[in-house]
A = this chain, B = another copy of it.
Amino acid sequence: MATIKDVAQLAGVSISTVSKYLNGGHVRPEKLEPIRSAIVQLDYRVNPIARSLKIRRSHSVGILLPSLAAPFFSSVFMASDKVLREQGYHSMISCYYADHGLERDYLSYLLGVGVDGLIYVPENLTAEEFQELTLHRDVPVVMVDRMIPGVDADAVLTENKKSSCNAVSRLIEKGHRRIALVGGPNSVLTAKERLAGYLQALELYNILYDGALVFSGELSFAFGHQSFLELMNTGTPPTAVFSTNHDITMGVVTAAREQGLRIPEDVEIFGYDSVNICAVMTPPLPVVYQPEQEIGRTAAAYLIERLEGYAGASRKTRLPCEMIL
């Protein structure tokens, strides 16, 4: 690869002049052409590594998330990517596949590798771990979909509790009394909040809480599947299941079908996200829909503000959700 030095030599000017040419400084008109031609001839491109080292900016932002496959994240980050790109930033995604060790590793890696900012969907990190990792690095972080309580960083979330309460309330109004919940682990704030919404709805309608109907665990197909089977094996199985994650919902639905149960006649299921997929089913599965585009855009906007120097207090935004019936 040709360097700026080669270009300078070939064009018969100094390195600084080429640099100015490259970065929009003032260069005498008659020197423009030789430089341009040298660049083309040598197929020169600036080395972003060297540039980053010098200017301490890479114009790239990292996105760290627990799972690639979730359609929810895909939509969210497509939206943030667009906003970021319009402002001249490239986004680089890293996935930690819901693994705690990997989550630490990648966070640490991204913080150090030179991205200007970070959009982060946390899962298992404690506030202490996060503080330690981010200490002395001034890389702004915006959390999305989840947040680590006690951490001072911008966060874009949705109204998990309220939306869940609404969803469960609807099931109750349709006559259900034994409603199960299958959701993520309590270490994930979002899962905890959705559980809280479920409990609130029960309370609202004076329905006794039954611990045997609540399953909190891995955000996976397997967990949803297994939980459903266990639910059905108790003496008095639920008549409805509120499933608060895409993969889990797939597992729950599969298990139900395997058992020969009709949805919703034999057991009603209410999901979260995955609107497209749930619409595929007959009849369509009702779901809570989170405003994915807006989440992504907001997160990107927050990050860009920080990158441009905004240093105000951290913002925690809650976006409202819709029920798709």
Contact = CB atoms under 8 A, between A and B. Distances in A.
Interface in A228-269: 250, 253-254, 257
Interface residues of A, number: 51
A78 B106 contact: no
Interface of A: 1-2, 43, 45-50, 52-53, 58, 60, 62, 67-71, 73-75, 77-78, 81, 90-95, 97, 106, 109, 112-114, 135-137, 221, 250, 253-254, 257, 276-277, 279-282
Given A53-B50, A91-B94, A257 B276 contact: no
A79 to B, nearest CB: 11
Given A60-B113, A68-B73, A281-B281, 18 more contacts: A2-B136, A43-B136, A46-B112, A47-B112, A48-B113, A49-B53, A49-B113, A49-B114, A68-B74, A69-B70, A69-B75, A92-B93, A92-B94, A93-B94, A254-B279, A254-B280, A257-B280, A257-B282
Contacts of A47: 53, 112, 114
Contacts of A52: 49
A75 B221 CA distance: 14
Copies of this chain: 2
B78 A68 contact: yes
15 contacts: A46-B112, A49-B53, A62-B92, A69-B71, A78-B95, A78-B97, A81-B95, A81-B97, A91-B94, A93-B94, A93-B95, A257-B280, A257-B282, A280-B281, A281-B281
A181 to B, nearest CB: 20
Contacts of A97: 78, 81
Name which of A49, A93, A253 has the most chain B CB atoms within 10 A of its CB: A49
A64 B49 CA distance: 20
A258 to B, nearest CB: 9
A280 B67 CA distance: 20
